Structure 1
Amino acid sequence: MDSDTLARIAYLSLLIAAVGGWALVEFRGRLGFALRTALAWAMIFVGVMAGYGIWQDIDQDLRPRATVTEAGEIRVPRAEDGHYYLSLQINGKTIDFLADTGATNLVLTEDDARAIGMNPDTLVYLGEARTANGSVRTAHVTLDEVQLGPYSDLDVSAWVNRSEMDISLLGMDYLGNFRIEIDRKQMVLRR
């Protein structure tokens, strides 16, 4: 163990000793009540953790994942919110995108740019994009490798958005590499 882990264990031990000492003094002579209270808090904690785990499963249902068929088609189910979400490998890191056929470019959030090894603070934001929320500043970048399912592309043009975005956008610059078929339940990408 490193010194940071040992320090955390020591801190946690002191915290447990302090709370435990307080509980012994507070509930002296009422040990049964103290145990019931501790059990109730433990059950609340377990319930919160179970809720968090279930939420992770629900989140997967809200944003179902794309599948690749044997023929090389990428089938993207429509999410409950009506959008299509894809996960791409960029420079070896998984980045989630909203497929946006109304967007021109592949646009990364600053957080996603950081995740793939860029420093958004050092980028030059000379570009400007007009969005539904007004004009935003953008920086042009080139992505070494972008992989979607079995398809890999090198030196892909992209933009990093200076404004707040919830998720990166996969626009027609990249989606145009595919034949796109959309129905009410899914989007199918073929090359």
Structure 2
Amino acid sequence: MSGDLLASLGYLALLLLALGGAYLASHRQSVGKSLQMALVWGMIFMGCMAIYGLWGDISRDYGRKSLPITRQDGAIALPRAPDGHYYVTAEVNGTEIDFLVDTGASDIVLSRKDAARIGFDLDELAFLGSARTANGVVPIAYSRLKTIRLGPYLDQGISVSINGGEMDKSLLGMSYLGRFGRIEIAQDQLILRR
């Protein structure tokens, strides 16, 4: 910790001690009740701080799984997430992978974590390609998927890129989305038709 941070923490501790002491002195008859209320408010404050600090992880881990909805006409409907994006869980090589649907991505792009989950040996991959992303240029390895299933549709031998950089979510790009004859957005749903 830096000296400025320690000084700030010391100042806050002294301020809290002074305020707490003044409060307890003014409520001498009910010190036990005052301590109990201070403890309750402290726990509420700590809970709020924990939720605030973990909110990014909570929303990323629990708010993004979206199974495709197969409609009677055979179309696949994906609901819009609260962040405005479309997410889908597809079965890749027998393993469920969560994707961000990205019409701006040329390929299916797997994160390193997801690539390892479906059986790619990251040490054996040759990251000879590169891709321009919003985060700059990243190394890319190319391969093929054995299978990918989205709703009732099973495809085999689809090309895939494995991102050599850091990536939160795998991308379902146009090399796969282009297999659908029609892509439309209506009533907060992304609809894919073959």
Quickly name the TM-score band, shorter chain normalised: 0.5 to 0.7
- The equivalent residue for 2:133 is 131
- The equivalent residue for 1:81 is 83
Q: Which amino acid aligns with 2:82?
A: E
Measured in 2, the distance between the counterparts of 1:169 and 1:147 equals 15
Q: Which amino acid aligns with 2:133?
A: T
The correspondence for 2:172, drawn from 170, 173, 181, is 170
C-alpha contact 1:64 1:78 (8 A) present in aligned 2:
no
User: Gaps (5+ residues) in structure 2?
Assistant: 1-46, 52-56
Deviation of 1:66 after TM superposition, in Å, equals 2.5
**Which of structure 1's runs of 4+ aligned residues deviate more than 2 A?**
55-66
The 3 A distance-change label for structure 1 pair 162 and 87 is same
- The equivalent residue for 2:153 is 151
Deviation of 1:63 after TM superposition, in Å, equals 4.7
- The equivalent residue for 1:189 is 192
Are positions 1:103 and 2:108 aligned together? no
Measured in 1, the distance between the counterparts of 2:162 and 2:66 equals 25
User: Gaps (5+ residues) in structure 1?
Assistant: 1-46
Deviates further, 82-91 or 179-188: 179-188
The correspondence for 2:93, drawn from 76, 83, 91, is 91
- The equivalent residue for 2:183 is 180
Deviation of 1:91 after TM superposition, in Å, equals 0.8
The alignment yields a C-alpha RMSD, in angstroms, of 2.8
Larger Rg: 2
Deviation of 1:70 after TM superposition, in Å, equals 2.1
Deviation of 1:175 after TM superposition, in Å, equals 0.5
> The residue matched to 1:130 in structure 2 has which SS?
strand
Deviation of 1:184 after TM superposition, in Å, equals 5.4
The TM-score normalised by the length of structure 2 is 0.67
The TM-score normalised by the length of structure 1 is 0.68
- The equivalent residue for 1:161 is 163
> The residue matched to 1:177 in structure 2 has which SS?
coil
